[in-house]
């Protein structure tokens, strides 16, 4: 196998007419990663995956799978398998015949693997039936089975649990977990946050074709930990104090009302703020650190302007000492660990 990380994508762009489906996407998936490619529907995840598999040509940019360019032929897909959107098969052939066909197109010992991959996805009993009669969940599992025939070192899965019932989703996650534990590198495209949270060690969050965050899940969740909730005896004056306090910014957080939502550079800044409030004869009723769930971070990054806890509102307050007001988006996604501006 060629050298290079399982997936390396640089400045990938895909334009359809005047629609930019994928906008300068860059990411690297390292060996052993279970990499979540997270974004709402229509964010460009599937288009990116299609380019990674060589199904569509990028308008610009490059994809390398283990150092090889998938546009130069299927040799680049050696050790790579997966599916984009729902896995599709010939409905008039049985599950086993579909796998035989695909194993034939894979060569090697793929055909001899059919019984065990059917066993792995628990489809042995239905293998003789035509795929046209399969449920959505069975087709998803057959898609995994078809991927396993290639003995993949890298598995690209596009929304594998979408459309499954709760038990099906749970079992699909177990299966993906088991595959990852067996040493496969997995790229998991999904819009299901709990799925990504449960399975992935690293994520890229994509919004409108652009990656707004790439890094570890732990860093993503920690990125929201600099936010504090403050309730005082006089919130109006407290807001003025906060504005003048070094290392403290107010952010919009409608769900925090009637309290104030703050972002602090560090705990020392928070301690200093408490002393400033005391000096101003403002009583502190509540001052506690907020942690952001993955869901909050996701919505902030994909629906807001890149701030986990809402935009900075310091421009709504008078600038202290004639200093220019801070920008409404003074700290955008680039302040997140690993974020791509």
Q: State which of residues 67, 91, 133, 320 lies at the interface with other proteins (CB under 8 A).
A: 91
How many Å apart are CA 231 and CA 220, to the nearest integer?
27
| Binding segment (CB under 8 A) for other proteins, from list 143-151, 258-266, 311-319, 326-334 | 143-151
Give residue for tokens 């003074």.
Answer: 330
Q: State which of residues 92, 136, 285, 319 lies at the interface with other proteins (CB under 8 A).
A: 92
Q: Does 122 bind other proteins (CB under 8 A)?
A: yes
> Which of 156, 4, 22, 10 lies closest to 65 in space, CA to CA?
4
Q: State which of residues 4, 42, 88, 316 lies at the interface with other proteins (CB under 8 A).
A: 88
How many Å apart are CA 94 and CA 126, to the nearest integer?
9
Give residue for tokens 């229509």.
Answer: 42
Task: Map residue 80 onto helix, strand or coil.
Answer: strand
How many Å apart are CA 62 and CA 13, to the nearest integer?
9
Q: State which of residues 12, 44, 50, 186 lies at the interface with other proteins (CB under 8 A).
A: 50
Q: Which two tokens stand for residue 298?
A: 């996701």
CB of 248 to other proteins, least distance (A): 49
How many Å apart are CA 269 and CA 263, to the nearest integer?
10
Phi and psi at residue 318, to the nearest 5°: -65, 140
Q: Return the number of the residue (167 or 323) whose C-beta is nearest other proteins.
A: 167
CA distance to 212, 217, 256, 269, 305, per residue, from 308 (Å): 12, 14, 13, 20, 9
Q: Does 8 bind other proteins (CB under 8 A)?
A: no
Q: Does 101 bind other proteins (CB under 8 A)?
A: yes
CB of 13 to other proteins, least distance (A): 14
Q: Scanning residues 151 to 170, which ones bind other proteins (CB under 8 A)?
A: 151, 167-168
> Which of 45, 9, 77, 27 lies closest to 189 in space, CA to CA?
45
Q: Does 105 bind other proteins (CB under 8 A)?
A: yes
CB of 25 to other proteins, least distance (A): 17
> Which of 46, 286, 306 lies closest to 162 in space, CA to CA?
46
CB of 131 to other proteins, least distance (A): 10
Count of alpha carbons within 13 angstroms of residue 79, beta-carbon side: 17
Contacts with other proteins by CB under 8 A: the residue count is 58
Q: Does 77 bind other proteins (CB under 8 A)?
A: yes
Q: Does 68 bind other proteins (CB under 8 A)?
A: no
- Can you give the binding site for other proteins, defined by CB under 8 A? 47, 50, 53-57, 73-74, 77-78, 80-93, 97, 101-102, 104-109, 111-113, 116-117, 120-122, 137, 141, 146, 148, 150-151, 167-168, 171-172, 174-175, 177-179, 182
């Amino acid at each position: 196998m060629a050298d290079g990380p399982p997936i390396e994508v640089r400045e990938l762009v895909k334009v359809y007419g005047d629609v930019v489906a994928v906008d300068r996407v860059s990411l690297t998936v390292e060996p052993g990663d279970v990499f979540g490619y997270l974004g709402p529907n229509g964010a460009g995840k599937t288009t990116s995956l299609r380019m990674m598999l060589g199904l569509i040509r990028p308008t610009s940019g490059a994809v390398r799978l283990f150092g090889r360019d998938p546009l130069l032929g299927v040799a680049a897909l050696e050790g790579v398998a997966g599916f984009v959107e729902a896995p599709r098969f010939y409905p008039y052939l049985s599950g086993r015949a579909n796998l035989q066909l695909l194993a034939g197109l894979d060569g090697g010992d793929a055909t001899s693997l059919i019984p065990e991959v059917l066993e792995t996805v628990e489809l042995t009993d239905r293998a003789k039936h035509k795929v046209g009669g399969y449920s959505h969940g069975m087709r998803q599992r057959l898609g995994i089975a078809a991927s396993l025939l290639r003995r993949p070192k890298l598995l690209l899965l596009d929304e594998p649990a979408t459309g499954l019932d709760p038990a099906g989703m749970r079992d699909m996650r177990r299966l993906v977990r088991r595959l990852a534990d067996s040493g496969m590198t997995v790229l998991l495209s999904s819009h299901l946050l709990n799925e990504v949270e449960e399975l992935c060690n690293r994520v890229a969050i994509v919004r409108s074709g652009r990656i707004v965050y790439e890094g570890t899940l732990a860093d993503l969740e920690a990125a929201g930990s600099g936010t504090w909730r403050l309730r005082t005896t006089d919130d109006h004056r407290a807001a003025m104090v906060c504005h003048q306090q070094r290392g403290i910014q107010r952010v919009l957080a409608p769900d925090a009302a009637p309290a104030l939502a703050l972002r602090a550079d560090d705990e020392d800044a928070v301690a200093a703020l408490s002393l400033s409030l005391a000096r101003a004869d403002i009583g502190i009723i509540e001052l506690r650190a907020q942690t952001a769930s993955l869901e909050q971070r996701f919505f902030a990054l994909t629906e807001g302007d890149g701030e986990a806890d809402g935009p900075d509102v310091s421009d709504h307050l008078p600038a202290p000492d004639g200093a220019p007001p801070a920008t409404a988006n003074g700290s955008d996604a680039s302040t997140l660990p690993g974020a791509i501006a």
